[in-house]
Every structure is written in structure tokens, then in C-alpha cells.
Chains A and B, each alone.
Chain A
Amino acid sequence: MANMAQAIRMALHYAETNYELKDIFGQDVGAPLGGVFTATQGLKTTWNSTLDERGIIGMAMGIAMAGDRCVAEIQFADYIFNTIDLLKIAGNTLWCTNGQYNLPMTVMTPVGAGIRGSVYHSHSFDAWASRLAGWKVVMPSNPLDAYGLLLSCIKDPNPCLFLKPKALMRVRGEELIPGEPTDEKELKNMIDAPIGDRSKWKAKWPEVSEYLVPFGKGKITRAGDQITVVSYGRHLLLCNEVADQLKTEGYSVEVVDLRSIYPYDWSLIKTSVEKTGRVIFVNEDTEVTNFGEHLAYRVVQELFYHLLARPQVIAGKNVPGIGLHPHLEDASVPQKHDIEKAIREVCAEVP
């Protein structure tokens, strides 16, 4: 089973071969490293950019303006903040030009905590990204979705932001990518660059085929009827674990993997909450003006009379940074016990 880094690599290979993807670039994205998380090893069209995030995003916009497809990487989302006005411009170019210049570009960047990355390798970007009108924003929780969402991003005529949960880059999924060899070792030998001299190495790509996860389509990863838990990315897996654990106590938790942050799958949330009457939203971006708050607001507005309890948003603390010591990180971003506590509380609430 591929891990997420390998899945991303295979998607990029598929797009180079089939979607006329012409540039995959960013800091250390090309040979010899192939990306700090190895997600761009062995590809044909990778190149190393200057160490300049604004240069990377600006260049991507220009490439897209000239009609070519590109994937630009910002090495860590922690360093995307100095590009935010360029991201705004990329998102408003089609609108400002009254429909004349669309920018078919994908930006990918690793996000979130979970690897003891301290202050500047732990930032989230989903709440910020949800305010970038004109962008499509996705965040996978498993390798197959990473493959399918990245292909959707590259194929789309709009700017797309692919948020990679960095703590999941080595995590394997439960489903094979179409065409992926079943033997993990075989895959590794084919597409992981060797340690040491790589100058002669070439990837041997498996015959992967097209698999698209459409924008705005979530997925129920645990079925239940007592409470809805909506999440994405790394925290989706934590929510699944908590749901499984609580099941032994008789709780019936429905977990929704949103997958797309914008556009988002409202009908899936709606159907689930109409059934359960209880909902929590879980993500690790900071809590004030969090994307989960928007969803909670909408639940209150549209589903108020279905609710049996107040919705909750479980998110990162509104602190300036995530400290290195595990005590600090664990107190700053939601942990399993926080999710569990919230589920128990919301389920216990009597209208």
C-alpha cells in the first residue's frame, strides 16, 4: 500500500504523462532531493526554484496565464504567509478580468502539527485558505484521496490549493491506487529514490490510471446515528479512532471526511446532522475565525430545529505558535482525548 508521499508522486507522474503538466517546482523539489517529504522524486518536469516563495507563486501565475499547467510547492505552509496577496490575486484574476484569464495552477504545501515541528513547521492553513475566494481547497486524509484530489486539482481550470497533512506523509491507506502494485516493497523499489548517489537513478512507474475525487464531495468514514463528527486531514484519522473506541461503549458516531474545504459538501453534512441532531467540527487551525465555525454557523442557521445539542468546534488554541515540547504542542492542537470529551459532552446534552 502506498504512503501519501508515494501517492502524490504517482499522481504527479500521471499528470505529467496524461494532463500536459509541464512544471513541478519549488524549493528542493527537483533532483537530487525530490522534495523535503520525497513527494516529487523521480519525476520528469520537476525543477528547483529560487528560495523565494513570492517568486514561486508569481511564476506559477505567469505559467498559468500563458496556458500551461503547473504544480508549485511551498515547502511548508508556515512559509506561505508572505505570498498571501499573490494568492488573493490568483483567486481574483478570473473575476477581475470578467472571466477572461483563468489560472489553471495547483499549489501544494504541507500543513499542520503532529511531527514535533515547533513554531515554524506546524502551522495550519485551512482556515486562511477558506478566505481565498476563487480557489478550490482540498485536504486529503489518506493516500488514495491524495491521489484523486491532486489529479482533480491539476485538471481543474481554477487555482487549486492542495494541503498535505505533513504528519500523514508516511501513513499508508487501506485502498490501492488503481494500477499500484500490491506489494509495498515492489512499489518502493520502483519509485523511491535510493539513499546515496541518485544521479543514475530513474523511477519505474507503475501503470496507474485516472482516479478523480471530485471537489465538494465528502465521504462517510464511520457510519453512526448518534452524533456527526466532521473533519479532514490528520484529524480525520483521530476522529475515526475515537469513534471506534467509543463504539465499544455503545456510542454510534458518524464521521464525515470533508476532503474539500471549498467548495464543501454541505448536503452530506446536512443529511448526517438531520439524522443525528448532534455535531462537532474538528480541525487543528486556530479556533478564532476557524473554518469549522463557518460550518457550525450554517448548521445553526439551517438545521436549528433538528439540533438536540449545541454544535462544537474543536480546533487549535488561539496562541501565536505551537511550542516544541510535547506538552506545549499537545495543549495547542486537538488531541484524541479532546475529541472524545467533546463527543461525550455533546451526546450527554439534553435539549
Chain B
Amino acid sequence: MMMSIQKKSTHGSDNFSGLAKSILMDMYKYMVKSRVLEERLIKIYRAGESFFWIGGPGEEAWGVPLGMLAKKGQGPKYDYLHLHYRCSPTLVAMGLDMLSSVRLMMNRSTDRSTGGRNFSNHFCIPEWNIAPVTSPLEVQYPIACGTAHVQKRTKGSQAITIVTGGDAGTAEGDFASSLILASRKNQELPMLITVQNNKWGISTHYEGQHGETFIADRAKAFNIKSQVINANDPVESYIAIQESMDYIRKTGKPAFIEAMVSRLYGHSSASGANPIADEIDPVKEFERRLIKADLLSLSDAKNIWEEYEREGIKAAEQARTEPVPQAESIWDHTYADNENADWRKF
């Protein structure tokens, strides 16, 4: 009796900024699914079934709300997303199935993003306006300005362009290029420019590389509406993203979010992909909060984790049986319509 009263009163004091239960539960499920998926990818790497892993564990509380709020579809009337390699949570929230991610991880020819040509989490999904993820850091920022430019002149839509990237990459000139291009007077671009600050490059720490107090301050210099958020809290992320998106859709002007996030398995498989103990785990935190607020039971939580675990195992089993790209395909898609690109055949 005491217990339940306590629980109820805690629920009362945490109103999750007024977000509906259905949104909270969707967020939770997508966050768990993303985590289980990434941990599955790491297992695939450890089993020697893939060459490299890089991904997004630790960014779920940022990426999931972003994916839930994006206007999904193809063409300039829908939001464009120029993402980087830690954005699996965003895509999971947009409806990505595990098999698609696992196929990419295992370089199968069935991989819908690259046909087995590129690394894990280098997604490309034109049907959802997911621009190809590239390995060179920061190039997505000026490219994003181009899709936003087209959206600005597209009538009858309030679609925006979203761009993401890490903190260390903001030292590249391309980051500054995008702030400048997005904020030219009377030619502002409808863009949500974001940085996920996990305080790390690969092994180089944030401290020691930055003179600015916040990366977000750089956006302020261009009169871009800008904020820093604790993106280990999905509720805070959801509210901030929603509010920024509303502003961009209404004004046609850019907004900036610096999202403070965790990095839970280090940089990539190149640095071991081992769990890091001293960072906040946003999925576990949110789960605890939901349980405390009586919105989730321990057994439901367990079932959700297990369900996704099964999906991950099944996806890996399936991908294992699927074909891989063949040598003769190297010339394919060098040019549109598979026009010959091999000079030996000119």
C-alpha cells in the first residue's frame, strides 16, 4: 500500500513535460530497439561476421525523438535528413527494421542502403529523404544547405532539412559554411542544424580543442536561434526539437541545437567497442523513470527487451543466408542507368 502511494506521488511529480503516454511509450520502445540493434551489430562484429562497427549507442534519447518528429517522405515536400554514422535511433524511430541495418553491417547485396559497399550505419533511404551517410566528417552540413535551398522555393510545404554531426567535426570549415549559408539575410534556409556533443573525437577530448563556451554559441553569432540541451533526456530532446521545428516551419529560418549525449561503446570497433561504465545510459535512465512513474512495469520492460533481442537474432540469421556482392558488379552505378564507365570498353 505504502509502495503504491509512493509510486503514484512520484508519477505526479514527474509529468514528462506533459507528453502523452503513447509518445513516451513509443520513445521508450524505439530507444530499446535501437540499443538492442546496436548491441547485435557489435556481436556480429565480434563474431567476425563484419569488418567494422560504428554506431549510436548513447544517442537514443536524442535520435529517437528526432526521428519521431521528422516529416517522413520523399522529395522536397518532406524533411531531408543529412545524418552521420550515429543515427540509428533516428532511423529506428522512422520505421527502420533491424534486418536492413544488419544487412548493411554484414555487407550483403540485399543491403538497401549501399548494396554491401559501405560501412555499418552508412544509411541511404531515398524514400524517406535520408541522404547518404558519408565517412568524411562534416560534408553533410553544406550539402544540407542545398536541399534546404530547394525546399525554400517549394510551394505548399513547410518541410525542413535536418543535419547532424559530432562535436569534434565542427572544427571543419564545412560546419561554418553551413552556418553562413543558412543565415544570409532575407535568404535564410529552413534548416535544423544540430551537433551531438559526446565530448570526444576518436580519442581527443573536447577540453583542449575548443575556445568557445558552447558550440551553440557559434550559431548565435549568425543570429540563428540556438540552444544547448541535455539530450540524455528524451523528453527534453522531444520538446526542444518540436519547438525548433515549429519555429523553422513557421519562419523559414534556421535553428540550432547542441545536444549533449553519451558515447557508450567508445568510438567504434577500432577502439574496441567495449561498454563504457562512467557515462549516463539514457535508455536505462528513461526506463527507470517510466517504472518509477508507474507507466511501465518491470515485466513489460523485460518483454520489450526480449522481443527486440529475438528480432535481432532473427535478422542476423536471415542476413547470413543472403547473397553478397559479386566482383563483376564493381562498375555498376558509376553513372546513371549503368552507362559504361570502364575505359577499356570505350
Contacts and interface: CB of A to CB of B under 8 A. Distances in A.
A54 B142 contact: yes
A78 B265 CA distance: 43
B180 A52 contact: yes
Contacts of A68: 150
Contacts of A22: 150, 153
B343 A263 contact: yes
Interface in B149-164: 149-151, 153, 161
B126 interface: yes
Contacts of A96: 114, 117-118, 122, 124, 132, 134
A59 B142 contact: yes
Given A59-B146, A99-B332, A65 B180 contact: no
B131 interface: yes
Nearest to B145: A59
Nearest to A295: B343
B61 to A, nearest CB: 28
Nearest to B76: A66
Interface string A61-88: 1111111100000000000000001100
A93 interface: yes
B335 A134 contact: yes
A167 interface: no
A62 B117 contact: no
A264 B115 CA distance: 29
A57 B115 CA distance: 26
Contact of B124 (A23, A97, A134): A97
Given A52-B180, A101-B132, A134-B335, A58 B346 contact: no
A158 B82 CA distance: 20
B146 A63 contact: yes
Contacts of A62: 82, 142-150, 161
A265 interface: yes
Contacts of B334: 94-95, 133-134
Interface centre among A64, A93, A97, A157 (most CB of B within 10 A): A97
Contacts of A136: 335
B181 A158 contact: no
Nearest to A102: B336
Contacts of A55: 142, 145, 177-178, 180-181
A61 to B, nearest CB: 5
A23 B126 CA distance: 22
Given A59-B142, A66-B76, A94 B333 contact: yes
A118 B143 CA distance: 32
B314 interface: no
Interface string B74-87: 01100010100000
B205 interface: no
A120 to B, nearest CB: 19
Interface of B: 75-76, 80, 82, 111, 113-115, 117-118, 122, 124, 126, 131-132, 134, 136, 139, 141-151, 153, 161, 173-174, 177-178, 180-181, 184, 332-341, 343, 346
Given A58-B139, A96-B122, A263-B343, 20 more contacts: A52-B180, A54-B177, A57-B142, A58-B178, A61-B143, A61-B146, A65-B143, A66-B146, A67-B75, A97-B126, A98-B111, A98-B333, A99-B332, A99-B338, A101-B132, A134-B341, A158-B335, A263-B340, A263-B341, A264-B343
6 contacts: A96-B124, A98-B113, A98-B332, A99-B332, A157-B336, A263-B343
Sorted nearest first, the 10 A-B pairs with minimum C-beta distance are A62-B146, A58-B142, A98-B115, A66-B150, A157-B336, A99-B333, A55-B177, A63-B146, A266-B346, A97-B124
